[in-house]
């Protein structure tokens, strides 16, 4: 994960040479959180903590 899950600037993100594209969707109003890699998606039942996101990344690899 880029910077071990910490926030990064857009310039740092754009400068990475990544073979895998992933995304995180956060909808605070509706309490919906999702993480995706390629066409695989994992939805969290509540706001995920860092270890849950790390675990999900491992499962999706």
Looking at residue 25, its pLDDT comes to 82
Q: Is there a contact between 41 and 33 (Cβ–Cβ < 8 Å)?
A: no
Return the residue matching tokens 């857009």.
10
- C-beta pairs of 9-18 under 8 Å, 24+ apart in sequence: none
Strand-by-strand arrangement of the 32-37 sheet: 22-27, 32-37, 40-44
pLDDT in tens, the chain (61 residues): 555 667 777 787 777 766 667 778 888 888 888 888 778 888 888 888 888 888 887 877 6
Looking at residue 5, its pLDDT comes to 62
Looking at residue 22, its pLDDT comes to 76
Residue (of 17, 60, 54) closest to 38 by Cα position: 60
3 state DSSP class of 48 = coil
């Amino acid at each position: 994960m880029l910077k071990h899950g910490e926030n990064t600037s857009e310039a740092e993100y754009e400068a990475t040479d990544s073979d895998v594209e992933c995304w995180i969707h956060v909808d605070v109003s509706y309490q919906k959180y999702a993480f995706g890699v390629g066409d695989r998606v994992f939805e969290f039942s509540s706001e995920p903590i860092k270890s849950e996101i790390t675990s999900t990344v491992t499962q999706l690899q």
